[in-house]
Amino acid sequence: MKIFYSETHRRHNPPFEIFDGGLRVPYLENPDRMDRILAALHRVGWTEIYEPSDFGLDPILAVHDREYLDFLASAWTEWLASAPQDPSTLIPATFALRRQPRKPASLLGRAGYYIMDLSACIVEGTYPAALASANCALNAAQAVTEGERSAFALCRPPGHHAGRDYAGGYCFINNAAVAADWLSAKGRVAILDVDYHAGNGTQGIFYERGDVLTISIHADPNFEYPHFIGFAEERGKGQGLGFHHNFPLSAGTGDAEYLHMLDSALAVIREFAPAFLVISAGMDIYADDPLGTIKVSTQGIGEIGRRIASLGLPSVIVMEGGYANEALGRNILAFLSNFNS
């Protein structure tokens, strides 16, 4: 299996994030996550790791707003030039209510306009890391168009919470959406998001499109981040009506219940009959993940991979969340091994 990975991710390493209630904690979405996965991939004989080539900005601008990308590119330089009291990371304290969508001129005003929450921390290397992450997904997409049955984009930072013009949930560029949009010029595409959290960014990007089917299986937003999106009644709009599906799960959902919901999602994909499948592979559904309440085992993750692989579709697997670092390598191997067999 071809794996696309860039060391550039290490340049995005915020010193902290802020949890609910104001607790400052070490940044959970950290480079150690990639080191654990790489160590596991090096232990097996069926992976080949490639440095991604640069596709340029055009495929990213196809799904993201140019002014938003300009903000990501310049935010760090502007932040240092503002002589902040704590220059270690840019985190705004005020966030825009998008019902009042006027964009302010100040850096902190724009940061609150373009950033959804306190986990999308910006440091000097954030933008180049996000670009490299998107290129990993684009290279994996290209690989499946050239005959690979599947390819894995080992993306960091992750992407599925990033919307057309906002960052959030550790995500800055929506890697899966960029890959899916690029593939959509070659045939119909389905995106299946199995991360613990709802793929709000992906949903918003494709919500009015009928050529890309989007499905997200996730913890119910009534109690879990991102809270304001990911409900079952959200089915798309306009040309996209009926081409988006959310499958919310209760806290404590285990292997059997998750697999039952997955089977319903896979039936929707079979009916859509896409030419390509993009999988947002979040391993935070694992039972011991510090950010999750779903209790899927490593064996369950393997079975999820097996059932998705049984669709027989050219598949781009894009790394999303997963913060139980000690288990991350074996969980991703359990998932990927089904696409290599």
Active site residues: 161
Shortest CA distance to 93 belongs to which of 200, 38, 18? 18
DSSP assignment of 123-145, as one string?
Answer: -TTHHHHHHHHHHHHHHHHHHHH
Quote the tokens at residue 103.
């964009």
Where would I find the beta strands (DSSP E) of 64-166?
Answer: 150-153
Shortest CA distance to 205 belongs to which of 230, 182, 170, 178? 178
Shortest CA distance to 293 belongs to which of 197, 226, 151? 197
Shortest CA distance to 261 belongs to which of 305, 304, 221, 321? 304
Identify the bridge partners of residue 202 per DSSP, sorted by sequence position. Answer: none
- Cα separation, 341 vs 335, whole angstroms: 11
Identify whether the C-beta of residue 24 lies closer than 8 Å to the C-beta of residue 70: no
N-term to C-term CA, the chain: 10
Handedness of CA 175, 189, 285, 202 (dihedral sign): positive
